[in-house]
C-alpha cells in the first residue's frame, strides 16, 4: 500500500493522495462488521430454532407426535396435548381471514379504483394505517368491554332460534370464538388492504385502458380484469394476513376464553397456541415449560409454512410484473 | 415546431364533404383538460368502410380527438368537451348515453400493446364473454385471430399467457381482441409506435384487410404510414398563439390530395417534412 | 391473410343503429350500483372499530387520565386511586434497550444488504430470513428470550428489552435497506469517482442521504415495539414498584392493561383504559415522528 505508482506521474501540485493505511484498515473492518451483522439475522433465526428446540426436547421425546393429537392440557397430571389449540388457532384464523380478507380486499378496491377523490382516499388510507397502529392489548380491552356486550344479544338470538345449526349451538357467555375472530379480522384487515393496494397499483394504466376500451363497466373492469391481474398479489396478501392471525396473541388471550375444547360453535370459548403460551407460561412447572416450548415449535412451524408460502407468492408476482412489461 | 408558431391558424378549415355515409360525425368545438384548451374547431367525419388517418405534429390533439370518439377521455376527470360527436346521428355525449355502451360498438387499439394477464384465448374471448355472446366462442376467437393474422403463430399455444408473446404479436392480439366482437368502428391510436418495422408492416397489411369490413380511424405519427393505408387524411396543427398549446384541424381530404395538393400552406410544410 | 371475421348481427348489431342510452333498470347498471353501494358499506364498516376504539379511549381513558394516573403506582385489589407511572417508565426503558440493540445491528446489516453485497447469496438469504421474521408470532420472541435469559437470570427489564429487540431487528433491517436503496446511484457513483473507499461512500453519502428514510423505519419499529405485549409477558413479567435495576421484573403499560382488564374492579378497569390511551398516544407519537422525518425528502 506504500508504493504509489501514480505519484511521480502526477503534477507536483496535485492534491491527490492515496487513502491512508487507516482508511484501508477502517474500510476492511467496517465491511467485515456489516457482513457479520447481515449474517447475524440468519444466525438469530438458527439460534431461536435451536434454543426452543433443545428446550422442548424432553417434551418431544416424552410425548412424541401424540402431542399434536392430544386433547388434554393438565399441568398437575403432566398430561399435555395441543389438538384443541391447533383447532382453535386454525378456526379463529380462518374466520378472521374470511371476514378480514373480504373487507381488506374490498377496501383496497375502494382505495385504488377511483371511488374517492385523492384527498378523501388519503384520509381513508390514514384510517386504515391507524387501525394497524393500535396495539393488540387495546383491541383486547375493547373486545371485552365493547364487542362482547354488543355481540351477546345477537348471539343469544341466533342460539335461541337456530341452535340446530352447529355454528350456533352454544350461547355466548362472555369470551368466545366469535369476538376473538372479529377482533382478529380487524387486526389483519390493514395488512391485507395494504398489500392488495400495492398489487392493484402495480397494474399498468394501459391494462385499465384496455378494459374500458372494450366497453366494460367499472365493476366489470374490476372483477374481470383488475382482480385477476392482481390475483397473485392479493393471494399473497391473504396468506400473509393469515400468518399474522395465526401468531396473534394478546387480543386472543383476552377474548377467546382459554378453554381447551373442540367445538364448532362460534360462541363457545376456545383456545389458540399463542394464547396457551401467554396464559400458561408464567405459572408453569418444569415439564409444562418443556411442553409449552413444544407447543411453540408447533406454532412456529405453522406460521413458518404459511409465511414462506406468502413470500413465495409475492416474489412470483413481482417477477411476473417486472419480467414481462 | 417553430413553424406552427408563426403561421396564424386558419379558423375556417375547409369542411371536408364526405361522399359516402358518415358513421361518426365528429364536430369538436373545444376540448378542455381543466382550464387547458387542448383542441378546438375540428370537424372530422369518419366514413364507412374507409381508413381515416389523423396526422400532425406532436401535441396537435389528434389522439385527444380520437379518444373522444369512444369516450375514452372520460377516464380523465378534468376532461370536458364542447361540440357534438354523432354516431349514426346520435350524440354520444348526449345526456343519457352510457359511455360503456359506446365503447362496445366503437372498439379501440392502443399505442402500447396492452393484453390482459390471461391466456391468449381468454384475451380474445374477453369481449365475447363481456357481451354475453351465446354462440360458438371458439369459432369467433379463431376468426378474430385469423383476422389479426395471428392464428398461425398461436394456434398451438392458445393457453399461454398473452404476455408471453412478442411486442408485435401482442399488438395483433390486441387487434384480435378488439375485432372479436365485431364492433362497428375501430379506433387505432398509433398502433405501430411500439413495434419494429416488420411488425409494423404486418399491422398495416392487417388494417387494409380490416377496412373491408370495418370503419377505421387511425392516429399515426408516421406520414408514410398514412400515405400507405389511409383513404382520407385529417391534418392537425398546433396553435400556440394564445400562450397555450391548442390543437385544431387544419384541413382534411383524400389522402392523395393532402399529400400532393394541400390547400393550406401549413399542410404543405408539414408533408414536405419541414417540421414535425 | 385468411378469411376475415365478417360483421354479422351475432355479437353486436352493427347493421342497425345501436341503442346507446343508459338503461337505469338493466341488470348491468343494477349490479354496478349494488356493488358500489356494498363497497361503501364495507369501507364504512371497516372504519367503525377504529372510531369506536378512539371514542372509548377518549371517553373512558380520558376521564381517568390525570397527574395521579401517570405518576402513582398501581393500586391493589380494592384500593381506590393509583396509577401506572412505573409502567410508563418500564415501557420506555425496555423500548430504549431494544432500540440500543436492534438499531445499530439492523443498520449495519442493511448497509451490507443495500450497498456492499446486494446481490450476494448472504444478502438474499438474510433478506429472506428478515422477511420471514417479520411475520413471526411475537410471542415466540418471548419464548426464545425466556429460554436464553430468564431461565438463568430470572425476569428482568433487560430480558424484556432483548425480546423486543428480536422483533425490531428485522423491521429495522428491511426499512433501512429500502431507505438506502432510494439513494440515487449517481450520487454513489460520484463518490466512488472521487476515490472514496466503500466505507467512505457509506459514511459520507449513503447514510446522510438515506438518514430520513432510515429514521422513519426506526421510528415505526419503535412504535411497533412500544405496543407489543406478548413478548414481555414472561420476560419482564410485571412489578408494582418503580424500576430500580435492569435485572429485576419490570412493569409495562401493555402488561398492565392485560392484567387489569381481567380484574373485577372498576377502578382497575378505568386505569386500563387510561393506560391504553397513554399507550396509543406513545405509539402515535412515534408514528407521527416517522412521517415528519421523512417529509423533507418528498
Name the β-bridge partners of C64: none
Q: What is the dihedral of CA C122, C125, C130, C133, to 10 degrees?
A: -140
Q: How far apart (Å, rounded) are the C-alpha atoms in residues C137 and C148?
A: 18
Q: Does residue C40 belong to any structural domain of this protein?
A: no
More confident call, B267 vs C21: B267
Choose the closest CB to B116 out of A207, A212, A215: A207
Q: Are B179 and B214 a contacting pair, CB within 8 Å?
A: yes
Give me the residues of A, 129-148, that contact C with CB < 8 A: 129-131, 133-142, 144-146
Q: How many residues does chain B have?
A: 276
A215 touches chain B (CB under 8 A): yes
How many domains is chain C built from?
1
Number of Cβ pairs closer than 8 Å across A and B?
A: 66
Q: Which set of grid coordinates corresponds to residue C16?
A: 342497425
Is B170 within 8 Å of B163 (Cβ atoms)?
Answer: yes
- Residue C6 has φ and ψ, to the nearest 5°, of -90, 130
Here the cell at position C168 is 425490531
Residues spanned by the domain of B10: 2-111+184-271
**Cα B214–Cα B85–Cα B233 angle in degrees, nearest 5:** 55
The pLDDT assigned to B77 comes to: 82
Portion 93-132 of B in contact with C at CB < 8 A: 94, 96-98, 100-102, 104-105, 127-128, 131
Is A8 or B262 the better-scoring residue by pLDDT?
B262
Kind of pairing, strands B22-33 and A79-80? Answer: unpaired
How far apart CA B60 and CA A199 sit, in angstroms, is 35
Supply the DSSP string of A240-291, one letter for each residue.
HHHHHHHH--HHHHHHS---------TTS----HHHHHHHHGGG--HHHHHH
Short-list B198, B252, B272, CA closest to B12: B252
Grid cell at residue C99: 432500540
Mean pLDDT score of chain B, rounded to an integer?
86
CA distance B53 to A77: 88
Please give the torsion angle defined by the CA atoms of residues B154, B156, B160 and B164, in that order, rounded to the nearest 10 degrees: -40
- pLDDT bracket for residue B101 (50, 70, 90): confident
**Which residues does chain B have within 8 Å of residue C27's beta carbon, measured at their own beta carbons?**
none
Check if the beta carbon of residue B165 is closer than 8 Å to that of residue B189. Answer: no
**Measured distance CA(A239)–CA(C42) in Å, rounded:** 21
Q: How far apart are CA C87 and CA C275, in angstroms?
A: 9
Distance from CA of C155 to the nearest CA of A (A): 10
Which of A214, A215, A228 is nearest residue B117 as measured by Cβ atoms? A228
Measured between alpha carbons, how far is B144 from A27 in angstroms, rounded to an integer?
Answer: 64
Pairing mode, if any, of strands B246-254 and B36-47? parallel
Q: Which helix (H) or strand (E) holds B255?
A: helix B255-260
Interface list for A 144-183 with B (CB within 8 A): none
Instruction: Report d(CA A257, CA A255) in Å as an integer.
Output: 6
B220 vs B244, which has greater pLDDT?
A: B220
Residue partners of C100: CB distance under 8 A and separation at least 6: C161
Domain boundaries of chain A, sorted by first residue: 20-63, 68-323
- Which residue is it, cell 429514521? C215
Q: What Rg, from alpha-carbon coordinates, does chain B have? A: 19
Q: CB of A213 within 8 Å of any CB in chain B?
A: yes
Return the partners of chain C (3 or more C-beta pairs < 8 Å): A, B
Contacts of B26 (CB under 8 A, 6+ apart): B42, B43, B44, B45, B46, B65, B68, B69, B85, B86
Residue C197: per-residue pLDDT: 83
- C199/A30 Cβ within 8 A: yes
C14 touching chain B per CB within 8 A = yes
Is residue A55 less than 8 Å (CB to CB) from chain C? yes
Backbone angles phi, psi at B22, to 5 degrees: -90, 125
Give yes or no for B153 touching C (CB within 8 A). no
> Which are the contacts of B152, defined by CB distance < 8 A and separation ≥ 6?
none
Query: How much is the CA Rg of chain C, to the nearest whole Å?
Result: 27
Mean pLDDT throughout B166-191? 89
End-to-end CA distance of chain C: give it in Å, rounded.
54
Q: Are strands B185-189 and B106-109 parallel, antiparallel or unpaired?
A: parallel
Q: Which of B110, B163, B178 sits opposite A324 (nearest CB)?
A: B163
Residue given cell 476515490 in the structure block: C195
Q: Which three cell numbers stand for residue B132?
A: 354475453
Is a pLDDT exceeding 50 seen at residue B3? Answer: no
Residue-level pLDDT at C17: 63
User: Would B144 be classed as within a structural domain?
Assistant: no
Smallest Cα–Cα separation from B44: which of B21, B26, B63? Answer: B26
pLDDT along chain A (325 residues), means of 10: 65 74 86 94 94 91 88 85 93 96 95 88 88 93 95 90 86 90 95 92 91 90 92 89 92 91 90 92 86 93 86 73 45
pLDDT of residue C8: 44
Q: Given an 8 Å threshold on Cβ–Cβ distance, is C229 in contact with A299? A: no
Neighbours of C111 (CB within 10 A): 29
Is A217 part of the contact surface with chain B (CB cutoff 8 Å)?
yes
> Testing the interface with B: which of C14, C21, C26 to mutate, by most B Cβ within 10 A?
C14
Residue whose C-alpha cell reads 346520435 in the numeric block: B90
DSSP C296: G
* Residues on chain A touching B100 (C-beta within 8 angstroms): 215-217
A167-170, long-range: CB within 8 Å, 24+ apart, which pairs? Answer: A167/A264, A167/A265, A167/A266, A168/A265, A168/A266, A168/A267, A169/A263, A169/A264, A169/A265, A169/A268, A170/A263, A170/A265, A170/A267, A170/A268
> Given C1, C11, C23, which is nearest B181 (Cβ)?
C11
Is A211 close to B116, i.e. CB distance below 8 A? yes
Longest dimension (CA), chain B: 58
Domain A68-323, what architecture? Orthogonal Bundle (1.10)
Contact by Cβ (8 Å): A248, A184:
yes
Closest to C161 (Cα-Cα) out of C189, C142, C139 = C142
* Test mutation, B125, B144, B147, chain C, max C CBs within 10 A: B147
User: Above 0.85 for ipTM, yes or no?
Assistant: yes
Given CB atoms, is A3 within the 8 Å cutoff of chain C? no
CATH number at residue C269: 1.10.3720.10
Answer yes or no: do A214 and B117 touch at CB < 8 A.
no
Return the C-alpha cell found at A175. Answer: 369470551
Q: Which residue of C has its CA nearest to A100?
A: C46
Please report residues of C whose CB lies closer than 8 A to that of A35. 112, 116-117, 122
**Contact flag A214-B72 (C-beta cutoff 8 Å):** no
Residues of C with Cβ-Cβ distance to B84 under 8 angstroms: none
If contacts are CB pairs under 8 Å, which of residues 156-185 in chain A contact chain C? none
Taking contacts as CB-CB distances below 8 angstroms, the residues of chain A near C170 are 41
Q: Which three-class secondary structure state does DSSP give residue B39?
A: strand
The set of cell numbers assigned to C247 is 435485572
Residue B263 domain-assigned (yes or no): yes
In the predicted model, residues of chain C with pLDDT beneath 70 are 1-18, 24, 295-298
Domain assignment of residue B19, yes or no: yes
The answer to whether C175 and C220 are in contact (CB under 8 A) is yes
Q: Are residues A245 and A97 in contact, defined by beta-carbon separation less than 8 angstroms?
A: yes
Please name the residue of chain C whose CA is at the shortest distance from the CA of residue B202. Answer: C1
The pLDDT assigned to C297 comes to 43
Expressed as residue numbers, the domain containing C204 is 71-297
DSSP E strand stretches across B6-75? 22-33, 36-47, 51-55
- DSSP, collapsed to helix, strand or coil, labels residue B253 as strand
DSSP-assigned letters across all residues of B144-206:
HHHHTT-HHHHTT-TTSBGGGS-HHHHHHHHHHHHHHT--SEEEEESTTTTS-HHHHHHHHHH
Residue C51 forms part of a structural domain: no
**C19 at B interface, C-beta within 8 A:** yes
Cell of C283: 405509539
Q: How far is CA B117 from CA A224, B18, B161, in A?
A: 11, 41, 7
- Inter-chain touch C229–A52, beta carbons under 8 Å: no
Instruction: Check A141 against C272: CB less than 8 A apart.
Output: yes
For B115-172, write each residue's pLDDT tens digit: 888 889 999 998 888 888 888 999 999 999 988 889 999 999 999 888 889 888 999 9
H or E stretch covering B254: strand B246-254
pLDDT at B244 over 90: no
Instruction: Give how many domains chain B has, as a whole number.
Output: 1
pLDDT reported for residue B19: 67
**Are the CB atoms for B130 and A220 separated by under 8 Å?**
yes
Measured distance CA(A53)–CA(A47) in Å, rounded: 9
A250, with CB counted inside 10 A (0-12, 13-18, 19+), is buried
Q: How far apart, in whole angstroms, are the C-alpha atoms of residue A62 and residue A71?
A: 16
Residues in Cβ contact with A162 at an 8 Å cutoff, skipping those fewer than 6 apart: A168
Q: Is A220 on the interface with B (CB under 8 A)?
A: yes
**In a domain? residue B176:** no
Amino acid at each position: 500500500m506504500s508504493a504509489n505508482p501514480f505519484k511521480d506521474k502526477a503534477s507536483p501540485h496535485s492534491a491527490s493522495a492515496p487513502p491512508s493505511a487507516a482508511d484501508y484498515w477502517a474500510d476492511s473492518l467496517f465491511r467485515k462488521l456489516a457482513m457479520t451483522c447481515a449474517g447475524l439475522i440468519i444466525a438469530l433465526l438458527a439460534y431461536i430454532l435451536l434454543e426452543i428446540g433443545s428446550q422442548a426436547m424432553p417434551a418431544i421425546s416424552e410425548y412424541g407426535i401424540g402431542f399434536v393429537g392430544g386433547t388434554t392440557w393438565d399441568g398437575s397430571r403432566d398430561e399435555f396435548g395441543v389438538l384443541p389449540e391447533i383447532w382453535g388457532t386454525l378456526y379463529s384464523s380462518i374466520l378472521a381471514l374470511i371476514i378480514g380478507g373480504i373487507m381488506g380486499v374490498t377496501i383496497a378496491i375502494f382505495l385504488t379504483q377511483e371511488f374517492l377523490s385523492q384527498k378523501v382516499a388519503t384520509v381513508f388510507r390514514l384510517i386504515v394505517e391507524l387501525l394497524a397502529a393500535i396495539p393488540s392489548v387495546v383491541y383486547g380491552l375493547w373486545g371485552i368491554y365493547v364487542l362482547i356486550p354488543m355481540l351477546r344479544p345477537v348471539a343469544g338470538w341466533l342460539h335461541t332460534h337456530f341452535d340446530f345449526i352447529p355454528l350456533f349451538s352454544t350461547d355466548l357467555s362472555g369470551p368466545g370464538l366469535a369476538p376473538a375472530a372479529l377482533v382478529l379480522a380487524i387486526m389483519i384487515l390493514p395488512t391485507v388492504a395494504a398489500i392488495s393496494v400495492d398489487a392493484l397499483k402495480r397494474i399498468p394504466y394501459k391494462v385499465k385502458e384496455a378494459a374500458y376500451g372494450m366497453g366494460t363497466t367499472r365493476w366489470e373492469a374490476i372483477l374481470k380484469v383488475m382482480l385477476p391481474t392482481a390475483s397473485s398479489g392479493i393471494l399473497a396478501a391473504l396468506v400473509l394476513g393469515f400468518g399474522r392471525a395465526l401468531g396473534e396473541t394478546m387480543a386472543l388471550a383476552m377474548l377467546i376464553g382459554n378453554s381447551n375444547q373442540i367445538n364448532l360453535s362460534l360462541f363457545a370459548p376456545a383456545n389458540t397456541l399463542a394464547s396457551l403460551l401467554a396464559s400458561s407460561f408464567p405459572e408453569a412447572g418444569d415439564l409444562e415449560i418443556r411442553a409449552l416450548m413444544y407447543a411453540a415449535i408447533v406454532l412456529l412451524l405453522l406460521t413458518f409454512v404459511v409465511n414462506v408460502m406468502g413470500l413465495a407468492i409475492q416474489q412470483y408476482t413481482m417477477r411476473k410484473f417486472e419480467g414481462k412489461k | 415546431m417553430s413553424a406552427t408558431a408563426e403561421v396564424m391558424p386558419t379558423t375556417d378549415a375547409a369542411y371536408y364533404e364526405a361522399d359516402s355515409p358518415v358513421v361518426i360525425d365528429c364536430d369538436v368545438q373545444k376540448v378542455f383538460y381543466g382550464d387547458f384548451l387542448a383542441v378546438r374547431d375540428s370537424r372530422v367525419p369518419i366514413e364507412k368502410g374507409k381508413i381515416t388517418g389523423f396526422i400532425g405534429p406532436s401535441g396537435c390533439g389528434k389522439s385527444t380527438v380520437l379518444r373522444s370518439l369512444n369516450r375514452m377521455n372520460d377516464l380523465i376527470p378534468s376532461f370536458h368537451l364542447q361540440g357534438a360527436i354523432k354516431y349514426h346521428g346520435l350524440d354520444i355525449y348526449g345526456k343519457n348515453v352510457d359511455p360503456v355502451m359506446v365503447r362496445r360498438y366503437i372498439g379501440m387499439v392502443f399505442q402500447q400493446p396492452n393484453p390482459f394477464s390471461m391466456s391468449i384465448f381468454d384475451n380474445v374471448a374477453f369481449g365475447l364473454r363481456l357481451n354475453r355472446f351465446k354462440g360458438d366462442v371458439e369459432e369467433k376467437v379463431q376468426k378474430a385471430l385469423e383476422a389479426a393474422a395471428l392464428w398461425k403463430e398461436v394456434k398451438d399455444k392458445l393457453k399461454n399467457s398473452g404476455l408471453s408473446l412478442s411486442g408485435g404479436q401482442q399488438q395483433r392480439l390486441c387487434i384480435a381482441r378488439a375485432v372479436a366482437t365485431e364492433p362497428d368502428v375501430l379506433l387505432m391510436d398509433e398502433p405501430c409506435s411500439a413495434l419494429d418495422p416488420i411488425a409494423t408492416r404486418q399491422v398495416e397489411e392487417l388494417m387494409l384487410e380490416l377496412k373491408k369490413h370495418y370503419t377505421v380511424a387511425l392516429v399515426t405519427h408516421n406520414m408514410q404510414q398514412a400515405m400507405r393505408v389511409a383513404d382520407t387524411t385529417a391534418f392537425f396543427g398546433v396553435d400556440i398563439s394564445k400562450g397555450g398549446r391548442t390543437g385544431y384541424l387544419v384541413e382534411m381530404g383524400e389522402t392523395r390530395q393532402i399529400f400532393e395538393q394541400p390547400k393550406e400552406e401549413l399542410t404543405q410544410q408539414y408533408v414536405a417534412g419541414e417540421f414535425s | 391473410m385468411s378469411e376475415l371475421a365478417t360483421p354479422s348481427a351475432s355479437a353486436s348489431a352493427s347493421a342497425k343503429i345501436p341503442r346507446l342510452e343508459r338503461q337505469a333498470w338493466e341488470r348491468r347498471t343494477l349490479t354496478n350500483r349494488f356493488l358500489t353501494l356494498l363497497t361503501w358499506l364495507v369501507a364504512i364498516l371497516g372504519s367503525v372499530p377504529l372510531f369506536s376504539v378512539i371514542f372509548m379511549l377518549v371517553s373512558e381513558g380520558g376521564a381517568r387520565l390525570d397527574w395521579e394516573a401517570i405518576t402513582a403506582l398501581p393500586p391493589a385489589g380494592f384500593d381506590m386511586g393509583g396509577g401506572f407511572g412505573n409502567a410508563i417508565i418500564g415501557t420506555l426503558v425496555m423500548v430504549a434497550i431494544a432500540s440500543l440493540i436492534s438499531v445499530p445491528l439492523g443498520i449495519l446489516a442493511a448497509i451490507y444488504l443495500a450497498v456492499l453485497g446486494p446481490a450476494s447469496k448472504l444478502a438474499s438469504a438474510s433478506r429472506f430470513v428478515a422477511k420471514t421474521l417479520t411475520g413471526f408470532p411475537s410471542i415466540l420472541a418471548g419464548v426464545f428470550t425466556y429460554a436464553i435469559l430468564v431461565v438463568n437470570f430470572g425476569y428482568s427489564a433487560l430480558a424484556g428489552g432483548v425480546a423486543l429487540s428480536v422483533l425490531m431487528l428485522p423491521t429495522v433491517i428491511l426499512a433501512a435497506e429500502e431507505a438506502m436503496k432510494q439513494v440515487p446511484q449517481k450520487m454513489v457513483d460520484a463518490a466512488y469517482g472521487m476515490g472514496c473507499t466503500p466505507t467512505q461512500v457509506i459514511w459520507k453519502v449513503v447514510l446522510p442521504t438515506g438518514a430520513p428514510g432510515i429514521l422513519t423505519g426506526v421510528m415505526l419499529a419503535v412504535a411497533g415495539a412500544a405496543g407489543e405485549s406478548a413478548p414481555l409477558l414472561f420476560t419482564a413479567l410485571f412489578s408494582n414498584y418503580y424500576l430500580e435495576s435492569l435485572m429485576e421484573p419490570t412493569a409495562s403499560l401493555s402488561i398492565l392493561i392485560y392484567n387489569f382488564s381481567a380484574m373485577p374492579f372498576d377502578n382497575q378497569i378505568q386505569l386500563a383504559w387510561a393506560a391504553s390511551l397513554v399507550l396509543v398516544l406513545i405509539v402515535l407519537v412515534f408514528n407521527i415522528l416517522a412521517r415528519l422525518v421523512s417529509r423533507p425528502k418528498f
